[in-house]
């Protein structure tokens, strides 16, 4: 036999999961032992689940505290810079209109070149290179301005 050929491995143990088993019926002692083992395993599962639930609760509390701190800091900044906050809001509204026009032109481009985009990697790459970075950057700037802007709409909006 070559070094690349191996004999099939025989199972180390076999578990019978069929409804009918060839094993002998359990005696009351072995049934009690089986019930005890099952009970122990179930208790271990419950303890593990409780620990996991506790860890998840702690994680949620930490995440909530961090988000609350960030919201408080953002509100403090807005209160300290009300004029800049309003300016950010107006800029976000303007960029939102720009984004809408950009998306409109992008979707027109997709509709006009559908066949080329589907069939050709070159055209798809050109499209992504042309629109992708601008869309990503525009979304990022818009998100920052919207967060820094006040929650109130500007009077001329």
Concatenated DSSP letters for 44-88? Answer: HHHHHHHHHHHHHHHHHHHHHHHHHHHHHHHHHHHHH-HHHHHHH
Q: The whole model's pTM is what?
A: 0.57
> Is there a domain that residue 2 lies in?
no
Q: Of 78, 65, 63, 66, whose CA–CA distance to 147 is shortest?
A: 78
Q: Is the pLDDT of residue 9 over 80?
A: no
- Whether 3 is covered by a domain: the verdict is no
* Residue-number span of the structural domain to which 90 is assigned: 83-157
Same domain? 58 vs 120? no
In a domain, 55, yes or no: yes
What digits encode the pLDDT tens for the residues 44-71? 999 999 999 999 999 999 999 999 999 9
At residue 31, the pLDDT reads: 79
Residue 152 has pLDDT above 90, yes or no: no
pLDDT-derived band at 97, boundaries 50, 70, 90: very high
pLDDT band at 18 (very low <50, low <70, confident <90, very high): low
Degrees (nearest 5) of the Cα angle 27, 30, 36? Answer: 140
pLDDT band at 120 (very low <50, low <70, confident <90, very high): confident
Residues 56 and 103 in one domain: no
Task: Please tell me whether residues 55 and 104 are part of one structural domain.
Answer: no
My answer on whether 63 and 108 are in the same domain is no
Q: Give the whole-angstrom CA distance, residue 118 versus residue 108.
A: 15
Structural domain total, the chain:
2
> Which of 20-24, 32-36, 95-99, 132-136 shows the lowest mean pLDDT across its residues?
20-24
């Amino acid at each position: 036999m070559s070094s690349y050929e191996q004999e099939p491995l025989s199972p180390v143990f076999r578990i019978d999961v069929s409804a009918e088993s060839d094993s002998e019926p359990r005696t009351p002692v072995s049934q009690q032992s089986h019930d005890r083992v099952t009970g122990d395993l179930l208790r271990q599962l419950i303890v593990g689940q409780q620990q996991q639930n506790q860890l998840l609760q702690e994680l949620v509390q930490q995440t909530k505290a961090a988000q609350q701190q960030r919201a408080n800091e953002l509100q403090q900044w807005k209160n300290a810079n009300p004029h800049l906050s309003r300016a950010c809001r107006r800029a976000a509204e303007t960029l939102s209109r720009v984004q809408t026009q950009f998306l409109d032109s992008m979707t027109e481009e997709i509709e006009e070149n559908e066949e080329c985009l589907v069939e050709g990697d070159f055209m798809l790459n050109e499209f992504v290179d042309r629109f992708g970075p601008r869309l990503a950057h525009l979304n990022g700037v818009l998100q920052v301005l919207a967060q820094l802007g006040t929650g109130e709409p500007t009077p001329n909006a």
